[in-house]
Amino acid sequence: MFEYFPNNYPWSLAVMGALSRGGMISEVDDACRSLREIAARKNDPAAQAAWFESWMKLAERVERLADIDAQKNHPLSAGRKYMRAGLYYLMAERMPSHKDPRRLIAYRRGIELYGRGLTLRREPVERVEVPYGEQSLPAFFVKAPVPGRAPCMVHFDGFDATKESIYGAVGEEYRRRGISLLSPSRFPRGTPEKRPMRDTSKPAKENRQDNVVITQGRTGGNEKVRQAR
């Protein structure tokens, strides 16, 4: 793996995630260049704060550029920038302590802007609710562009991913292969949206579907895949 921060694997992994999910390399570099020295101070609150502030600064700048495009009635350009701004807000919230109240603010802003970008660009994403016991999981559904039924990949997020980042990384790749994508959040509607993690690995009731594969990202970049039976 390319290590932007040779002394900090989690930060380097985050950089690679940003690039693979729609981030622009020059913008990512803008956020990270000033962090190279402090990156060696792992788990240092000052380092975590520096990460947060640098990515927030970038996200706010790209959001302003998106606003300008939207005011000029350039929905495709505005949408792409809103999606990147949303991604950068989500990158900002990765590193601070779960006790930091700014983290949830950044997360919610990231989700909102990414959704705005999807709408402006008319991305082929349908927002759906997946039944989960007495509650439901908000999810993205991307239908394969083929007539009739198609294989479907149910892609859960991992420790630090979201349905938005999953769509940015693999949504179009599944479509091009004639595979639909269902990407649920791990957090039932109406519950806290981030940390602590909730276990959604056990379905509320048994479902039998043909041509459905479930995959989940794991910390370290591995994938857990199983055939739904």
This model's pTM is above 0.75 = yes
Of 85, 91, 101, 77, the C-alpha closest to 161 is 91
- Taking only the tens place, the pLDDT of each residue in 165-218 is 999 999 999 999 999 999 998 776 555 455 433 444 444 333 445 666 666 555
Decide if pLDDT at 15 tops 50: yes
The sign one gets for the Cα dihedral 57, 23, 72, 75 is negative
- Taking only the tens place, the pLDDT of each residue in 28-56 is 999 999 999 999 998 899 999 999 999 99
Instruction: State the amino acid at position 33 in one-letter form.
Output: R
Over residues 65-85, mean pLDDT? 98
Q: Where are the domains of the chain?
A: 9-120, 126-227
CATH architecture of 9-120: Up-down Bundle (1.20)
d(CA 171, CA 165) in angstroms, rounded, equals 9
d(CA 79, CA 81) in angstroms, rounded, equals 5
For residue 201 the two structure tokens come to 């690995």
The whole-number pLDDT of residue 215 equals 60
Q: What angle is formed at CA 62 by the lines to CA 156 and CA 2, rounded to 5 degrees?
A: 55
